[in-house]
Amino acid sequence: MKHIIIPVALGLAISAQAADISLTVDPYAGTDTISRMVYGQFAEHLGACVYEGIWVGEDSPIPNTKGYRNDALKALRELKVPVLRWPGGCFADDYHWRDGIGDPAKRPTLINNNWGGTQEDNSFGTHEFFNLCEMLGIEPYLSVNIGSGAVQEAAQWIEYVTAPNGPMAAERAANGRREPWKLKYVGIGNESWGCGGNMRPEYYSDVYRRYSTYMRNQPGNTLYRIASGASDYDYNWTAVLMDRVGAGRMDGLSLHYYTAEGWNNKGTATGFDDDKYYSTLGKALEIDTVIRRHIAIMDEKDPKAHVGLMVDEWGTWYDEEPGTTPGHLFQQNTMRDAMVAALTLDIFHRYSERVRMANIAQIANVLQAMWLTKGEKFLLTPTYHVFRMYLPHQDAVNIPLDIKAPVFKAANGRPVVEFDATASRAADGSVSISLVNPMLKESDKVAIELPGIKGLDIERAEILTASAPQAINTFEKPDAVAPAPFKDVKAKGSHLDAKLPPLSIVTITLRPRK
C-alpha cells in the first residue's frame, strides 16, 4: 500500500491528493455478531433531553402521539433504536420512581439537583417510558437508584414493572396497565464511584450484591443485571468488581468514556481548529485501548466471557453552548461528531465478542445528540446520519479486516488513523462496508478485493461529507449535512474501486455473486 502524507504548513493551500488504500473483505469470514445493542441510546432527565426532546405532553401544540413528539418518534423508528437507557445518568441515583406514577396532575414537582436545578413535573415516568419502548419495539434499560434510594424501593420498582400478579401488579393495573411490561436490562447504580454515591469499588461490590439479591426475576421475565462500571482508565474498578461480584452475579459491567480532556476547558462544539479536530479524534480512538485493557482484566477472571462489557455512556462532550441554560449540556453537532461516531462504532464492531451494548450520550439536545429541538423546531444531526448509514451492521456478522492505514500523532499526542473501515455480512447474505476518511485535505483511493466470489451487485452506496469539520445542521438549514448517494464507486468482478473525498464516511451495501 502506498500512502502520501501531505505536509501541513501554516498558510499553505493544500491541494487534495489521494492516498492509496487496499483492503481485502472476505465476504464469508467472521464469526462474531455485531449486537444491534451497540447502537443503543441514552435518555436522561437532563436539560431538554426527555422533556421537549421526546416528551411534550398530549396538550402540547407540538404535533405528538400520546404526548411523544411525532418527529422524535419518526427518528426513533428510522434508527431502529434497539435499546434505550433511562432515567439517567447521575439523575437515576436521585430518582424516586413513585413520584412518576399515577395521575399526572397529582405528581409532585422535583428539582433536578444534578442538572441545573431545573423543576420537572414528573409527567414522564415509568408508564410513559415503558409505553414508548413497547410502542417502538425498543428494549428498555432501567437504571435503578442505589445512591439515594432504598433496597425496597428498587425491588418494588422491578416488581411494579414486571410482576404479573401481587400488590405491585395491582397498583400498576390501577394506574392503567394490567399486563406487565418486559424488562431485561437493569443497571444497578450509575457511576457509583462518583455522582452515584462516591463509593469505593470494594464497598460498591457489596452494595451491588445486596440490591441485586432483591431485584427478582418475575414469572416470564428474566433480568440481565448490569453493574455500575469504570470510567475511562479506572482498571482497578473493573478488577475489583470482577473479583468481588464475579461472573455468577452480574451479566454486564458498564464502562463510560467521553472525549472531553480537562473538564474545565473542554473546547467548544463548533469553534475548533484542525489541531483540535484531530485531537478530538485521537481521544475518541483511544477508547480502543481502554476497551482492550478492560477486556483483558475481564478475560482473566471470566474466560468464558459471561459478563458483557456495556459501554452505556460514550460520545463527545464540549463546553455548553453560550446562551444556553447552565447544566443542560446542550452542544451543537458537527461533522467532527459524525467522524467520532463512525470511528467509535467501527471499534465496537471489532470487540463484538465482549462489547454487548453501547449507549451514546444522549439521544436529544444533550451532548452528542441524534436530534436537536427548539420548541416545535427539529433537526437531525450529523451523528444521527452515521447511525442511520450504519444500520446494515446491526446484528450482522463482523468481517475481520486487516487495515494497514498510516497513523499520525495529533497535537494532544494521541494517534489518529488516516483511514478506517468496517464490514459485516447480514443474514440475507448482503455485505456492507463502511469506509471512513477522517483527513481534512487528502482523499483516499480505496481498492477492495472480495475473494471467493465471481461478481457483485451494489445495492446501495451513500456518503456523508462536508466542506469543513465545523459543518452543522441548523433549524434554517436542517439538511446542510446529510447523506447523499455515493457515485465514486465501481465494481469489476470481485473488485471494488472507491474514491473518498476528504472528511467523508461511506457505506456500500453489496450482494456477492458466487
Interface positions with ligand AHR (CB under 6 A): 44, 88-90, 190-191, 313, 361-362, 367
CB of residue 388 vs ligand AHR: minimum separation in angstroms?
A: 22
Q: How far is the CB of 277 from ligand AHR (least distance, A)?
A: 23
Active site residue 313: yes
Q: Which of 120, 128, 313, 442 is catalytic?
A: 313
Work out whether strand 139-144 and strand 83-86 pair parallel, antiparallel, or are unpaired.
parallel
Using the minimum distance from each CB to ligand AHR, give the nearer residue, 71 or 191. 191
Q: Measured from the CB atom, is 190 or 432 closer to ligand AHR?
A: 190
CA distances from 158 to 6, 194, 306, 493 (A): 57, 24, 23, 56
Q: Answer whether 250's CB lies under 8 Å from 305's CB.
A: no
Q: Which residue has the cell 468481517?
A: 399
Helix (H) / strand (E) element for 148: namely: none
Q: Which residues pair with 460 in a beta bridge?
A: 509
- Residue 178 buriedness (CB in 10 A; 0-12 / 13-18 / 19+): exposed
Q: Is the peptide bond before 218 cis (omega within 30 degrees of 0)?
A: no
Is 120 among the catalytic positions?
Answer: no
Of 142 and 361, which has the nearer Cβ to ligand AHR?
361
- Residue 319, helix vs strand vs coil: coil
**Residue 122 to residue 109: CA distance in whole angstroms:** 6
Residues 381 and 163: their CA atoms lie apart, in Å, by: 39
Q: What 8-state DSSP symbol labels residue 332? A: -
Q: Which three cell numbers stand for residue 2?
A: 502506498
- What DSSP state is assigned to residue 327? T
**What's the closest the beta carbon of residue 115 comes to ligand AHR, in angstroms?**
8
Least distance in angstroms from the C-beta of 48 to ligand AHR: 14
8 A C-beta contact, residue 412 and residue 274: no
Give yes or no for a contact between 412 and 406, defined as CB atoms under 8 angstroms apart. no
Minimum CB separation from ligand AHR for residue 213, in Å? 24
Q: Which is nearer to ligand AHR, 26 or 319 (CB)?
A: 319
| 326, 7 contact by CB (below 8 A) | no
**Best CA proximity match to 140, nearest among 128, 152, 148:** 128
Q: Is residue 498 within 8 Å of 458, Cβ to Cβ?
A: no
CA 242 to CA 297: how far, in whole Å?
A: 8
Q: How far is the CB of 372 from ligand AHR (least distance, A)?
A: 16
Alpha carbons 350 and 315: distance in angstroms, whole number: 18
Q: Smallest distance, Å, CB 88 to ligand AHR?
A: 5
Q: Which residue in 52, 120, 128, 191 is the catalytic one?
A: 191
Q: Do residues 274 and 237 make contact, with C-beta atoms less than 8 angstroms apart? A: no
Which CB atom, from 88 or from 100, has the smaller least distance to ligand AHR? 88
To ligand AHR, the closest distance from the beta carbon of 255 in angstroms equals 12
Q: Which residue is nearest to ligand AHR (CB)?
A: 89
Task: Report the residue number, 55 or 181, with the smaller CB distance to ligand AHR.
Answer: 55
Taking a C-beta distance cutoff of 8 angstroms, is the pair 131, 66 a contact? yes
For residues 89 and 483, which CB has a smaller minimum distance to ligand AHR in the complex? 89
Among residues 191, 180, 182, which one has the least CA distance to residue 226?
Answer: 191
* Cβ-based nearer residue to ligand AHR, 145 or 434: 145
Asked if 312 and 359 touch (Cβ cutoff 8 Å), the reply is: yes
Tell me the catalytic residues: 191, 313
